[in-house]
Amino acid sequence: MRSGMANFSKSNVPQFAVDVYQNEYLPEGGREVNAIVTVTATGGGTVGSALAAPHLYSPGQGPSAAVALMVDCSGSMDYPPTKMRNARDATAAAIDTLRDGVHFTVVAGTHVAKEVYPGGGRLAVADATTRAQAKQALRSLGAGGGTAIGTWLRLADRLLATADVAIRHGILLTDGRNEHESPEDLRAALDSCAGRFTCDARGVGTDWEVKEVTGIASALLGTADIVADPAGLAADFTRMMETAMGKEVADVALRLWTPVGTTVKFVKQVAPTVEELTGRRTEAGPRAGDYPTGSWGDESRDYHVCVEVPAAGLGQEMLAARVSLVIPEPGGSVQNLGAQGLVRAVWTDDMAASTSINPQVAHYTGQAELAQAIQQGLDLRKAGDIDGATAKLGRAVQLAGASGNADTAKLLAKVVDVVDAAAGTVRLKAKVEEADEMTLETRSTKTVRVKK
């Protein structure tokens, strides 16, 4: 079943719609209710042609935004030398994609963070002149020093906070491990930045740590990816900046109301990527909590909500959860985005009804398991547990094939030899390119939607 409606309208803010897919029927004594909640934002006024020709996009037409570009300038960026050059070119391409009027800054990151442009603790406002000046400033970028990503993020946060804008976003590029600060330092930096700006993270080459990059993107509600070949950076940076320029509304939270006696077992984003949100709940009044979703352009995401309700008698019906979207505002109030979806529970003695699994729930349960199987399989492989790794990656091959996740299947095939995809029988490849293994790990959380 599906339910929900959108009726929110305001200039420059997309209309949100909430659709709920679930089997609401429970057997006698049944308590667990699963639902896939699809949130779709449309009509926010994002103009594709304006993105393709940003110089024609006059100030004030898009939402006010500020962007910080954080470029790794540690010593390793000079090996090979093309890496630094590609990073400069990619940053220049991203600057060219900035819409006129958008505030921006370029930060050079080593064991410390340094403002490259415009400097002085300020943000520049994008126009032809500032874009040219920024690109000129990139020429001074040189490699040398260590890596302390937490310092980059804290500087970006301070700079982004100087502008009174709707959207704050970072783009972070690193080529190495976060060796010059403790994991706790990075964690603390992420905690202090979470909710203040969103950030995409990219690892270039193969000498960086996947869990660091994905952890940054996860904490700051952005995307993570690998750019194994530095030559691919410019295109990737352009795409990232286009997406950032398409964001219309920031700090949207999924609000979940549940009745008394109900336990939220988990809330996770399941499309376009798997993102666990259960532990990121902020209490929002009686029996309600907010889960952060970051900023939105015209896009659609799916969430898997699982709650445990008190058992009720046959023929009873109850509301197991009410899903809505809000933007928290200073002072504790919220802006309600109007759309809402109802997750219901109905107890029946019709076994055919209560035992069927909603196709969306089944699909995303499989996609979440796929992501977990890949991560566990690769961890076991690194730990030398060949049998364990083979079993987990075999299961991943099976799930990827059954669900039609072709991209992930392709990545898996570079790490294992598939004997029988349907049965999940695989052999670990004796020799695996590091880039292939890192790509699989970085992209393991990418999901596909239900086949129609």
Q: Which residues bind another protein (CB under 8 A)?
A: 1-5, 19, 21, 258-262, 309, 312, 314-320, 342, 346-350, 359-360
Between residues 104 and 303, which has the closer beta carbon with respect to another protein? 303
Pairing of strands 103-109, 65-72: parallel
DSSP code at position 421: T
Tell the smallest beta-carbon distance from residue 318 to another protein (Å).
Answer: 4
312 vs 421, beta carbon nearer another protein: 312
Q: How far is the CB of 281 from another protein (least distance, A)?
A: 19
Nearest distance from residue 293's CB to another protein, in Å? 22
Token pair recorded at residue 124: 């520049």
Q: How far is the CB of 144 from another protein (least distance, A)?
A: 56
Work out the burial of residue 133: count CB atoms within 10 Å of its CB; fewer than 13 is exposed, 13-18 middle, 19 or more buried.
middle
Alpha helices in 69-203, H assignment, sequence order: 81-97, 128-138, 149-160, 183-193
Question: Rounded to the nearest whole angstrom, what is the least distance from the CB of residue 449 to another protein in the complex?
Answer: 12
Chain centroid offset of residue 205 CA: 21
Look up residue 431 and give its DSSP letter.
S
* Closer residue to another protein, CB minimum distance, 320 or 378: 320
Q: Which residues pair with 41 in a beta bridge?
A: 16, 299
Rounded-to-integer distance, Cα 23 and Cα 359, Å: 9
- The closest of 200, 191, 166 to 335, measured between CA atoms, is 166
For residues 417 and 397, what is the distance between their CA atoms, to the nearest angstrom? 10
Query: How does strand 113-117 pair with strand 25-26?
Result: unpaired
* Closest to another protein by CB, 348 or 445: 348
Residue 84 vs 339, nearer CB to another protein: 339
314 or 383: CB nearest another protein: 314
Q: How far is the CB of 82 from another protein (least distance, A)?
A: 49
